[in-house]
Amino acid sequence: MNKGKNILCIGAGYVGGPTMAVIAAKCPEYSVTVADIDENRIKAWNSEKLPIYEPGLSELVKKVRGKNLFFTTDIAKGIKDAGIIFVSVNTPTKTFGEGAGKAADLQYWEKTARAIVEHAEDSKIVIEKSTLPLRAAEAMHRILHSNTKGLDFDVISNPEFMAEGTAIDDMHNPDRVLIGGMESPSGKKAVKTIADIYAHWVPREKILLTNVWSSELSKLVANAMLAQRISSINSISALCEKTDADITEVAKAVGMDSRIGPKFLRTSVGFGGSCFKKDILNLVYLCEYYGLPEVAAYWEQVVKINDFQERRFVKNIVRNMFNTVAGKKIAVFGFAFKADTGDTRESPAIYITKMLLEERADLAIYDPEALDNAARDLKDVKGKFELVTDPYKCAKKSHAILILTEWDEFKKLDYGKIYESMEKPAFVFDGRNILNHRELFEIGFNVFPIGSTKMTHLK
Ligand SMILES: NC(=O)c1ccc[n+]([C@@H]2O[C@H](COP(=O)([O-])OP(=O)(O)OC[C@H]3O[C@@H](n4cnc5c(N)ncnc54)[C@H](O)[C@@H]3O)[C@@H](O)[C@H]2O)c1
């Protein structure tokens, strides 16, 4: 067996599954195994209905699964057989002890390192794909070298920049691939081995080779800067609503400055997803740890503005629906944290629905891909809500529709028909600014966009 051509990825989640499917498809001479402790997840990866929704993923997996892409729970065998091990387990925000609420919880990541030490029979390259705090590679290196079998490991940082919803496209055409390695000769050789895998489809000039610490920090900073743009434009949306300026016009005018650019300047109910909040808080924690409270406070404000935007949205709903939503049916369109994914981790919809349930609203929730996850998120939440698989049924007899995810299908619904089936006065709160507000107003709706003047028939 040529172990150098055997890749193992530990962690079969939103990152591990899609990245390894792309590597398997692009590098047919490699055998790629994805292992996880979650039996149900592995079963789903081996079935017709994959555990995550991602455009293009299912077709890609079907092409290579069973040929050079395998999914397994046998982590020990996977470690023994592989010469190259990617670690892409979850690194959520710590909920207990020192650094709770900010620092990354590294328990899953450390368990993986210990499993590698336990089962490895020869030296390997270990690649951090999970997003980790600075100097985690050093800690990984120490744990791996605590082995008493005389084995040597090279640890590499290769953070993943793909975004859910466009994961397959992002991996096929990445802006860059970042590979951080140690300075030693074997470290350099390991970096080259990993770069050669990506070079099967990524132009060499887009493969950046850095030291391991720069690579780890770049991932946190990239996410913090992206989230900062969203919070910046959202903070200005609040000002627009007070001044009759229009956020779409402001964002366009600002984004046409080529030094700024248009990306991530779309206002909304706020950012979500498993990464932005946790990575910024992780950065905040690192700054505090290194005695930089001003820098920590600066980045923490990005998260605070996001919370503000979610709370503001709910306040706006209650205030405009005559200061009460108690007992009123409200239709929630969208639960995923963004379109084209079923992922609901840190979705603004979770916080918004919880706040509305506290106000005793009756919620009906529709999402084309995220209802299973919504059921899990709201499992222990008190209040009246139902998950509905049809948007027209969802809106029937409701007083208001909230758009919480920018799914394309919401733009194509028959709002005339929906309006007829609703209680009057009927409201639309467009938390993503995706609908045609003038048209809705003409149908009879009272329309509340984010960051521009409301359109209402109420005297
Ligand atoms: N989701 C994204 O968009 C994204 C993008 C870039 C980077 N990241 C980073 O990548 C990492 C993984 O993210 P994700 O969204 O794929 O997480 P995920 O929760 O979807 O998947 C992680 C998987 O690891 C498994 N796991 C945990 N401990 C294990 C162990 N000891 N052995 C084997 N398997 C184990 C879990 O069962 C789970 O299936 C995180 O650090 C995240 O910050 C995520």
Query: Measured in angstroms, how far is the CA atom of residue 123 from the centroid of ligand 1?
Result: 24
The tens digit of pLDDT for each residue in 406-455 reads 999 999 999 999 999 999 999 999 999 999 999 999 999 999 999 999 99
Q: What is the pLDDT of residue 123?
A: 93
Does the beta carbon of 36 lie inside 6 Å of ligand 1?
A: yes
Q: Residue 12: CB within 6 Å of ligand 1?
A: yes
Catalytic residue among 240, 275, 287, 394: 275
Domain ranges of the chain: 3-202, 247-459
Domains 3-202 and 247-459 equal at CATH topology level: yes
DSSP 70: E
Q: What is the pLDDT of residue 134?
A: 78
Is 27 annotated in the active site? no
Per the CATH hierarchy, to which homologous superfamily does domain 247-459 belong? NAD(P)-binding Rossmann-like Domain (3.40.50.720)
Q: Is 446 in the pocket of ligand 1 (CB under 6 A)?
A: no
- Residue type for position 64: V
- Kindly give the distance from the C-alpha atom of residue 108 to the centroid of ligand 1, in angstroms, as a whole number: 9
Q: Please, which residues have CB within 8 angstroms of residue 282's CB and are 6 or more apart in sequence?
A: 93, 102, 103, 104, 131, 133, 220
Distance CA 267, CA 433 (A): 8
Question: What's the CA gap between 15 and 86, in Å, rounded?
Answer: 11
What token pair was written down for 232?
Answer: 């910046």
Q: Whose CA is nearest to atom 15 of ligand 1?
A: 14
- Residue 64 structure tokens: 């290579």
Q: How far apart are CA 403 and CA 409, in angstroms?
A: 11
Residue 418: what pLDDT? Answer: 98
Nearest one of 312, 155, 328, 168 to 240, comparing CA atoms: 312
Residue nearest to atom 7 of ligand 1 (CA): 160
- Among 90, 177, 275, 345, name the best residue to mutate to test ligand 1's pocket (greatest count of ligand atoms within 8 A of Cβ): 90
Q: What pLDDT, on a 0 to 100 scale, did the predictor assign at position 344? A: 97
User: Can you give the pTM of this predicted structure?
Assistant: 0.94
Whole-number pLDDT of residue 211: 93
Give the per-residue pLDDT at 459.
79
Average pLDDT, the chain: 96
Q: What is the Å distance from ligand 1's center to 272 Cα?
A: 16
Q: What stretches in the chain show pLDDT beneath 50?
A: none
Burial of 348 (0-12, 13-18, 19+ CB in 10 A): buried
Tell me which of 10, 14, 33 to substitute to probe ligand 1's pocket, judged by most ligand atoms within 8 Å of the beta carbon.
14
Other Cβ atoms within 10 Å of 340 Cβ, number: 20
The CATH homologous superfamily for domain 3-202 is NAD(P)-binding Rossmann-like Domain (3.40.50.720)
